[in-house]
Amino acid sequence: MLHSALINVMVKAARNAGRGLKRDLGEIEHLQVSLKGPANFVSLADKRAEEVLYKDLAKARPGYGFIGEEGGNREGADKSHIWIVDPLDGTTNFLHGIPQFAISIGLQREGVIIAGVIYNPANDELYIAERGKGAFLNDQRLRVAGRRQLNECVIACGLPHIGRGDHELALREMAALQSKVAGFRRFGAASLDMAFVAAGRLDGYWERNLQPWDMAAGQIMVREAGGTVSCVDGASDPLKTGHVICGNEYIHGELVKIIKGLGK
């Protein structure tokens, strides 16, 4: 399948960085049994992957800005374009040798995400989306699931862990939905959760307290697959608030109705 030059640049960078992460994942099992553990190793894997991505993207598109989880904001001469990158989304999964993690690359133009790539090197699943051109998984067109009743739906969420997030609010949100849905899932990588919604594997997803690099690529992935993405209030930009809900039009609306008022 032919892709635009822009998507080709993003895919090349993701695959290049992914080779290092896949190799590093193979070392995790050995590190698990050591006294020191794999935490420092994973931190280095994060940083190495981000540097590979930065160098490849900067070479192909000189002047674009770059926001990465590890390296922070690197301003470019071209103020209208910014790469928003998570070199290793799902770090805790990676740390434990769980193959549910991804490289996430979004491109923002004049404040709007126009392209996204999400790549899981562990299983070689490559999600791409470009504004107005659709979303694809390994060149197969994606569409969000068509279910309209929550009681038929599998919904993913993020759960706050030690030292992060509002645990009581998370429990209230889950309690409000628990009797209304077919099942909950918590996979631990926001970009892949949104990619799964785009692919119809999940019917909806919500999470609070994310960073732009967690969801920049996922946001356009869902929208180009025919879905709806918003803040938990149903209207605001999740990249600005850090809170996201997505699904098809109907399930997104149902989730917003239930979740919206719980955080007040």
Range of the domain at 181: 150-263
Mean pLDDT of 235-263: 94
Residues 133 and 185 in one domain: no
Q: What six digits make up the tokens of 250? A: 């109907």
Q: What per-residue confidence (pLDDT) applies to 164?
A: 81
Residue with tokens 């299983």: 123
Residues 201 and 174 in one domain: yes
Task: Give dist(CA 81, CA 60) in Å, integer.
Answer: 13
Mean pLDDT of 80-108: 94
195 contacts: CB under 8 Å, gap ≥ 6: 102, 118, 127, 137, 218, 221
Question: How much of the chain, in percent, has pLDDT values that exceed 90?
Answer: 78
Report the CATH number at residue 27: 3.30.540.10
Q: What per-residue confidence (pLDDT) applies to 197?
A: 98
Q: What per-residue confidence (pLDDT) applies to 70?
A: 80
Residue with tokens 């994942």: 25
Q: What per-residue confidence (pLDDT) applies to 40?
A: 62
Residues 175 and 196 in one domain: yes
**Tens of pLDDT, residues 38-90:** 666 667 888 999 999 999 999 999 999 999 988 778 888 788 999 999 999 99
Residues 130 and 15 in one domain: yes
At CB < 8 A and 24+ separation, what contacts does 42-45 make? 42/88, 42/91, 42/94, 42/95, 45/20, 45/21, 45/88, 45/94
Last-in-domain residue among 141, 165, 185: 141
Report the CATH number at residue 159: 3.40.190.80
* DSSP assignments along 169-234, one per residue: HHHHHHHHHHTTSSEEE--S-HHHHHHHHHTTSSSEEEESS--HHHHHHHHHHHHHTT-EEE-TTS
Query: For residues 198, 204, 209 and 215, what is the CA-based torsion angle, rounded to 10 degrees?
Result: 0
Residues 83 and 193 in one domain: no
Q: What per-residue confidence (pLDDT) applies to 165?
A: 86
Q: How many CB atoms are closer than 10 A to CB 100?
A: 18
* DSSP assignments along 3-42, one per residue: --HHHHHHHHHHHHHHHHHHHHHHHHHHHHTSSS-SHHHH
Residues 124 and 178 in one domain: no
Average pLDDT over the chain reads 92
Residues 127 and 56 in one domain: yes
Last-in-domain residue among 121, 141, 161: 141
Asked if pLDDT for residue 29 goes beyond 90, the answer is: no
Asked if pLDDT for residue 132 goes beyond 50, the answer is: yes
Last-in-domain residue among 82, 117, 141: 141
Residues 35 and 115 in one domain: yes
Mean pLDDT of 218-225: 98
Task: Tell me the whole-structure pTM to 2 decimals.
Answer: 0.94
Asked if pLDDT for residue 238 goes beyond 60, the answer is: yes
Residues 92 and 134 in one domain: yes
23 contacts: CB under 8 Å, gap ≥ 6: none
Domain count, the chain: 2
Mean pLDDT of 231-256: 96
240 contacts: CB under 8 Å, gap ≥ 6: 231
Residues 214 and 125 in one domain: no
Residues 109 and 169 in one domain: no
SS3 at position 155: strand
Residues 13 and 120 in one domain: yes
